[in-house]
Amino acid sequence: MTDHTGQTLAGRYRIESLIGRGGMADVYRGTDTMLERPVAIKLLTDRSDTVLRRFLREAQSMARLNHRNIVAVYDAGQVDGLSYIVMELVHGRTLSQIPSGELTTHAAIRYIIDLLEGLAYAHDQNIIHRDVKPANVMIGDDGTVKIMDFGLSRRTSEMSSETNAGEIVGTIAYLAPERFLGKVADARSDLYSVGVVMYELFAGRVPFKSATDDLVAVIFAHVNDVPPSLRTINRTIHPQVDRIVLKLLEKDADLRYETARELGAELQALIGGPAVAVQPDATGKPSAASVAPRAKSAQPAATNEAVRSALDRTFANSTALNAGYSNTLAGMLAARKRDYPEAIRTYTLALLGFTQSGNELEHAKTAVKYAAMIWQKSSETQRPDRREIDEAVRLMGTALPSLRGRRMLKELEEGERVLYALQRMGLRLR
């Protein structure tokens, strides 16, 4: 990757050292030589039209926002083929980088209140962030909270079911159910993400996670599953905290808090007393006071990094992979309802999306789901469709080697069982 250290942009912004790399942009520490002040310089590394539009939208969105809890944008432009955003330089760590056990309950909720103040201001300007997560919440050395990365933001006037249909952007673990169903997102969608962040702070993990990195399973859980109560994970967590978080994670947006200010006021009332010291409970688990975010050393393994990198590339180049995930979810829901024509249609579209995006693993996992649905359908009818069975068997012929090569043992076992059942049924139909 190109290192731009030492360059000066637009005759003014000197790039001094790399701070971090992302899927579509790198961030450097620099100096505005005209005003003699330190700045952060974000340089676009992916030059596709889709990413360029996102990059421009981030600059435009953040330039409209002037709030102490939002990273300020000073300038943006293009020079010598480089697109850049010049921003306020914040010395500190993201919420995802703070080690486990370092926060008190009071401090953690204080950070959330400040996050909500920034979001409330953005929402007042009709801007929805759409990617609220710990990595986008900067905690300055002085304790100031700064929201970063408005690259996925949208003005409320731009939000519609048409612009959202089939589009899944953001980080899957933190997105609201309506985002996966093609419904219009609003401020309450950001608040759902805040709920996931709070859940992770208090429980040490996100509410919905797949041990096998099955993103479709995570999406399905966001849409259908009720998250475990925080108090089932740690009995010392205050019931009010548990109630607030579960309200934020309601599937129906109408059942969540209406505004960030409403939630912030309730949290402020909750921490009216002094900060609580971090203590383990009787079981040796962190108490509610520890509200520990994921430590930097506990970042997801290489497989998760590869998934995120793949998603970043997809967001940059096409919507094919997002369509694959959306249609797989739709296929799962249709199969549950035994609406087999719809299940076949959406699974077929999902497989096409994964083929177009070159994602062999998701194609293989979805092929297993499709074949299982065909087996379910065929078992419930007196006249199974031989062509459907043959197509499912053909798909499994390509899916199983892919799963076997990646040692996806759970999916491989299920696939082999379904394939055997379909082959036996197919033989009876000959």
- Nearest-angstrom CA–CA distance, 263 and 190: 12
Instruction: Say how many residues make up the chain.
Output: 430
In whole angstroms, what is the distance from residue 111 CA to residue 93 CA? 13
The CB-side HSE value for 378 (13 A sphere, CA atoms) comes to 25
Question: Token pair for residue 315?
Answer: 């967001």
Distance between CA atoms of residues 279 and 383, nearest Å? 64
The structure tokens listed for 14 are 């000197």
Choosing from 46, 131, 186, 190, which is the catalytic residue? 131
Which residues make Cβ contacts (< 8 Å) with residue 315, sequence separation at least 6? 23, 24, 50, 51, 54, 169, 322
Does the annotation mark 75 as catalytic? Answer: no
Tell me which residues are annotated as active site. 131
